[in-house]
Amino acid sequence: MNEVTHQRIKTNGIWMHIAEQGTGPLVLLLHGFPEIWYSWRHQIGYLAKHGYHVVAPDMRGYGDTDSPLCPTSYSIQHLVGDLIGILDHFGEQKAFVVGHDFGAVAAWHLSLFRPDRVKALIALSAPYFERSSSTRDSESVRRIFSDGCYVYQFQEPGRAEKSFARYDYLTVMKKFLLYNKTDYLVSPPGMEIIDYLETPAVLPPWISEEDLQVYAEKFEESGFTGALNYFRTIELYWELMGPWQGSKISVPAKLIVGDKDIGFEILGTREYVKGSVLKSLVPDLEVVILDGHHFIQQEKAQEVSDEILSFLRKFST
């Protein structure tokens, strides 16, 4: 079987780096914050071996993909446009879409905006949330979590970049990728979130120093501004999403989440996922809860790979 290959393609006005392997139905693997295509290293070969054409891009602003300077170039409409461009590049009318974290947000909205281009979607660590009809998302974040919340701190241009610069890139990656507490990322008053996060002395078995160095080297090349710009579009998201208020996700979907994920433990998310509200927004939904944390496709690589494959096979011809 072919090894992973790399190329840059033109899509939606930017050059996007993709890693790909295999032949067959197209599967997009979309990473989140703060990652690159490499976060899918376990799933790429596994899905390719089972008969799929797997494409894992560096998302807009990450890795070897272009990183526009203006935060408004990171709207959810831009992200979905990038994905449509990938499908068009390969001449595919439809694809399977798998996303983690912000990549899951992109997958949900690709399915919302263009269900005609999605066979089925799998979201990891991020359920679908409907836009509030009355309260802007940034206002909600600040009211609930205070100024110490990482989402709030990341919205101010340059603030996080300045605080991150006090550490080497490998340390920054360790602080975020290895965070395993159930407390939300909120620092005490007057403290930046990067200073609040601990640097683990011992690595968990699911990631190596070499793996972390891959991330660190790419962020050293690209910087963090592109990745942080996703957070700086929260206001824009609320403004642009009005036309889809009340819309449902009509494509078949599967949500995979770790039971110790910080996002699963706060604000009633566990009850939301298990209850009827999410099901009303995503009628054709299957939910799988695994023993794990936020970066579940790396921590529980084989379990997640098997869950993805079993779902894809339901809709593969």
At a CB cut-off of 8 Å and minimum separation 6, what does 197 contact?
A: 175, 176, 179, 185
Residue 278's contacts (CB-CB under 8 Å, 6 or more residues apart) are: 127, 128, 255, 272, 285
Catalytic residue among 53, 78, 109, 294: 294
Angstrom distances, CA of residue 294 to CA of 86, 111, 131, 234: 27, 23, 23, 21
What is the C-alpha to C-alpha distance for residues 307 and 311, in angstroms, rounded to an integer? Answer: 6
Task: Classify the C-alpha dihedral 301-306-311-316 as positive or negative.
Answer: positive
Helix runs in 90-208, H state only: 102-113, 137-145, 150-155, 159-164, 169-177, 193-196
Q: Greatest CA separation found in the chain?
A: 56
- HEC-encoded secondary structure of 32-73: CCCCCHHHHHHHHHHHHHCCCEEEEECCCCCCCCCCCCCHHH
101 is catalytic: yes
Backbone angles phi, psi at 169, to 5 degrees: -65, -35
- Tokens representing residue 245 in the block: 């208020």
Burial of 211 (0-12, 13-18, 19+ CB in 10 A): middle
> What is the helix (H) or strand (E) element at residue 121, kind and residue range?
strand 118-124
Is 6 catalytic? The answer is no
Q: Which residues lie below 8 Å from residue 126, measured CB to CB, with a gap of 6+?
A: 32, 99, 100, 101, 102, 104, 105, 108, 263
Q: Which of 58, 64, 66, 101 is catalytic?
A: 101
Closest CA to 240 of 144, 88, 113: 113
- Structure tokens given for 9: 């393609």
Q: Which residues are catalytic?
A: 101, 294
